[in-house]
Amino acid sequence: MSRLATRWPCCRRSPAVDPVAGSFAIVEEPIDVGGLVSAAQRPDCGAVSTFVGTTRIDESDEASVEYLEYEAYRPMADRKLEEIGAEIEERWDARHVSIVHRIGRVDPGEASVAIVVASPRRGPAFEASRYAIERIKEVVPIWKREVWSDGYVWVGSQVGTRS
């Protein structure tokens, strides 16, 4: 954050002194959501919108989901996250964008994805974070399977070992 930018509290951007900050990552460990939010706070932004996707447990009569397991096609998936960041930058005045997706085993209630967008105003921050999660579900090569007490199912393909 440069001192020059702090003297411009309006919505104008000056990329030369104030490039969009943030990070795009695929991680195998728990996501530090608080750290991502703290890193996004800046004096020229009045809004930090955060979306956290968490693993939800489904149940049927006889069985229940024990955990989810994610896999990614890397480095394509990493690059797609960065592309979503670039798309956001084109459409909104977002000055900090972080998108972090976890892979591997994710236990119930834990974060599988976190999106943090800082903008001078709340409207763009909300819209951009919504856009990011919808785009992730369209274009980022990541897959999850639900591991049930009686087998597993690949979400979206309905292929697995559950009868």
Partner 1 sequence: MTQGSIRVLFFGAAADRAGVREAEVSADVATLDELWPLVEQQHPDLSPMRGTLAFAVNGEYARGGDRVSPGDEVAVLPPVSGG
* CA–CA distance, 144 with 63 (Å, rounded to integer): 18
Q: What angle do CA 18, 81, 39 make, to 5 degrees?
A: 45
Residue 75 within binding range of partner 1, rule CB under 8 A: yes
Residue 101 within binding range of partner 1, rule CB under 8 A: yes
Q: How far, in whole angstroms, is CA 28 from its chain's centroid?
A: 14
Please report how close the Cβ of residue 101 comes to partner 1 at its closest, in angstroms: 6
How many residues contact partner 1, by CB under 8 A? 29
> How many angstroms separate the most distant Cα atoms in the chain?
63
Residues near 136 by beta carbon (within 8 Å), at least 6 away in sequence:
81, 84, 99, 101, 113, 142
Kindly tell me which residue out of 9, 35, 79, 86 binds partner 1, with binding defined by CB under 8 A.
Answer: 79
Please report how close the Cβ of residue 148 comes to partner 1 at its closest, in angstroms: 15
Return the structure tokens found at 133: 């999660």
Residue 86 within binding range of partner 1, rule CB under 8 A: no
Residues 115-144 as x/- pattern, contact with partner 1 by CB under 8 A = ------------------x--xxxxxxxxx
Q: CB neighbours (10 Å) of residue 3? A: 8
Binding-site ranges for partner 1 (CB under 8 A): 53, 70-73, 75-77, 79, 101, 112-113, 133, 136-145, 154-157, 159-160
